[in-house]
Structure formats: structure tokens, C-alpha cells
Structure 1
Amino acid sequence: MDKILKSISFVFHPLIMPVLGVIFYFSKSPRFIPHEIIQAKLISLFILTIILPILLYFLLRTLGKVESIYMPTAQERILPLALNCIVVIVILQRILTPNQIIELYYFFLGILISSMTCLMLAVFKFKASIHMMGISGVFMFFIALSIHFSININGTLALMSVITGAIATSRLHANAHTYMELILGLFVGALPQLLLVNYWL
């Protein structure tokens, strides 16, 4: 059980959440989108949201700016979160502009707001759970898409509920966060997605 709980934090790492949301969107959207465009978007996002952050992490670790991938202190999170905000801004300006795929534009705008909020909290020495921020943001986006496209994804939403609970349990088991930090991360991830729904739903 110990190994399973620890592995959950890696399997459902916050880095994969943006791409997971995009894949889900393309799989459920009734709109016709050329396969070449989907492929180009996914490759670009995979590089910018997964590969680049991993490379930046190793660079920061080499420079002594972070000690581990868990970034246990609020101070360690400031620079990685700031770099993540810059990456998301580049995505919004170059890859997912509002005149192309509006749902994904606002999804990533919500991610930017969540990341900036988490950054500000870190500056003031508050540590919100980035794992919970990631899963709750994607969860809220899935709910909005189900309403927007009038599709029944109750099974997916039930699975997301289980995954959210599993991630929270995993973080508590690892003594990585307190209950308050998990709840804070949940709201930081979900609220921007919920508020931005008014602009595209």
C-alpha cells in the first residue's frame, strides 16, 4: 500500500494535467479539427508543458535553486512557478490563441491564473498543493466540457473523483502537505476554471 500511494504522486503528476485536459478535449469535441492541427498542438504542448519543465528542473537543481522534485518549502517553489507562468504565457500567445480553440485558450488561462496565485502564495510563504491544483483544474474543465458539449461523461467524472481523493491521500501519506494546504490547492485549481466558464460556455 505504501508503494501504491507513493506511485500515485508520480503517475498523476501536475505536469501531465494540461496535456491530459487537451487530449480529453480533442477526444470529446464534436467540432471538426484536422488531424494535422491536433497532432501539432499536442506535440507543441507536450514539449512546453512536460519536456521543458523537466529540463528546467534539472537546470535549477544543478544551480542549487531546488533540492528535490518535491520542492518541500515555499521558497523553493517561487522560481519554478515563475518559469511555469512564463511557459503558459508563451502557450497562450503562440499555440492556443482565443481565435483558434476558445475552450483550450480559457483552460490554459485558468492554469495561468492558478499558477500565478500559487506563486503569490509561495512569496508570502504559503504552500498550496500543486498536485491538488492540477487535478482540480482539469476536473472542473471536464465538468464544463460535459455541459458545453451536452455529453454524458459521468463515468469519467466518477473516476476523476476517485483520482482526486487518491492524490490527496497520497500527499498526506507522504507528509508533503497538511489538510489546509490540500484544500487550498483544490480551490486554487478549480476556482479560475469555474469563473472563466462564463467566457466560453
Structure 2
Amino acid sequence: MNTVLKSISYIFHPLIMPLLGVAFYFSKTPRFIPDEAIKAKLFSTVILTIVLPILLFFLLKTLKKVDSIHLKTTRERALPLFINCVIICLILVRVFTPNEIIELYYFFVGILSSTLACLFLAIFKIKASIHMLAASGFFMFAVAIGVHFQVNINGTIVLMLILLGAIATSRLHLKAHTNTELIIGFFVGLFPQLILIKFWL
């Protein structure tokens, strides 16, 4: 069980949630988007939200700015969160602009808002679960996409609720977070996506 719970934290790492959101959108949208365009967007998302942050993490570790990938202290979190904000801004300017795919544009605006909030909390020594932040943000976006395109995503909702519970259990089991930190992370991830719905739904 320990191995399973530890694996959940790695498999459903916050870095993959933006990619899941983008892939989910392309799988549900009724709009015609050329396969080449979809592949280009997915490739850009992988490079900017997964590959680049991992490379920058190893750079920060080499420079002794962080101790581990878990970013256990609020001190360790500040610089990686700031860098992530810069990367998301780059995505908003170069990959998902408001004139192209408005739903994904606001999805990343929500991610940026959540990341800034998490950075603000870290500066004031308040730790929020980034795992829960990322998962709840994707969950809210998925629900909104289902409503927007009027498609049945009941299976996705059930799966995501199970996943949210599994992630919370995993983080508690590993003593990475307290209940309060998980709750803070959940709402910091969910509220920006919920608030921004009115701009595109």
C-alpha cells in the first residue's frame, strides 16, 4: 500500500495536469481542428509544462536553490513557483492566445492565477498542496468543458473525484501535507477556474 500511495504522487504529479487539460479539451471539442495543429499544441504543452520545468529543477538543484523535487518548505517553493509563472505567461503569449482557442487560454489564465496565489502564500510561509491545486483546477475545467460542449462527462467526474481522494490520501500518508494544506490547495486550484468560466462559457 505504501508503494501504491507513493506512486500516486508521482504518476499524478502537478506537471502533467496542464497537459491533461489540453488533451481533454481536444478530445471533447466539436470544432474542427487540423490534426497537425493539435499535435503542435500538445507538443508545445509537453515541452513548456513538463520538460522545461524538469530541466530548470535540476538547474536549481545544482545551484542548491532546492533540496528535492517535493519542495517541502515554503522557502524552496518561491523560486520554482515564480519560474512556473513566467513559463505560463509564455504559453499565454505564444501557444494559447485568446484569439485562437479561448477555452484553453482561460484554462492557463486560471493556472497562472492559482500559481500566483500559491507563490503569495509561500512568501507568507503558508504551504498549500500543489498536487491538490493542479488536480482540482483540471477537475473544474473538465466539468466546465462538459457543460460548454454539452457532452456527457459523468465518467470523468467520477474518476476525478476518486483521483482527488487518492491524491489527498497519498499526500497525507507520505506526511507531505496536513489536512489544512490539502484544503487550501484544493480551493486555490478550483476557484480561479470557476471564476474565469464566465469569460468563455
Bucket of the pairwise TM-score, normalised by the shorter protein: over 0.9
Give the Cα–Cα distance (whole angstroms) in 2 for the partners of residues 39 and 146 of structure 1: 22
Offset from partner CA, 1:124-166 (integer Å, 9 cap, x none): 0001000000000000000000100001110111000000000
Give the Cα–Cα distance (whole angstroms) in 2 for the partners of residues 106 and 69 of structure 1: 28
Q: Aligned AA for 1:44?
A: S
The normalised TM-score by structure 2 is 1.00
Residues 1-201 of structure 1 mapped to structure 2, 5 A cutoff: 1-201=1-201
The normalised TM-score by structure 1 is 1.00
Give the Cα–Cα distance (whole angstroms) in 2 for the partners of residues 153 and 123 of structure 1: 38
Give the Cα–Cα distance (whole angstroms) in 2 for the partners of residues 109 and 69 of structure 1: 24
Post-superposition shift, 1:99? Answer: 0.3
Give the Cα–Cα distance (whole angstroms) in 2 for the partners of residues 83 and 179 of structure 1: 27
Give the Cα–Cα distance (whole angstroms) in 2 for the partners of residues 156 and 144 of structure 1: 12
**Stretches of structure 2 lacking an aligned partner (at least 5 in a row):** none
Offset from partner CA, 1:155-178 (integer Å, 9 cap, x none): 111000000000000000000000
**Stretches of structure 1 lacking an aligned partner (at least 5 in a row):** none
Give the Cα–Cα distance (whole angstroms) in 2 for the partners of residues 10 and 73 of structure 1: 18
* RMSD (Å), alpha carbons: 0.3
Please list every run of at least 4 consecutive aligned residues from structure 1 whose deviation after the TM superposition is greater than 4 angstroms: none
- How many residues matched? 201
Q: Aligned AA for 1:60?
A: L
Identical counterparts, % of pairs: 64
Give the Cα–Cα distance (whole angstroms) in 2 for the partners of residues 143 and 124 of structure 1: 32
Task: Report SS of the residue matched to 1:67.
Answer: coil
Post-superposition shift, 1:195? Answer: 0.1
Give the Cα–Cα distance (whole angstroms) in 2 for the partners of residues 29 and 93 of structure 1: 22
Give the Cα–Cα distance (whole angstroms) in 1 for the partners of residues 90 and 164 of structure 2: 28
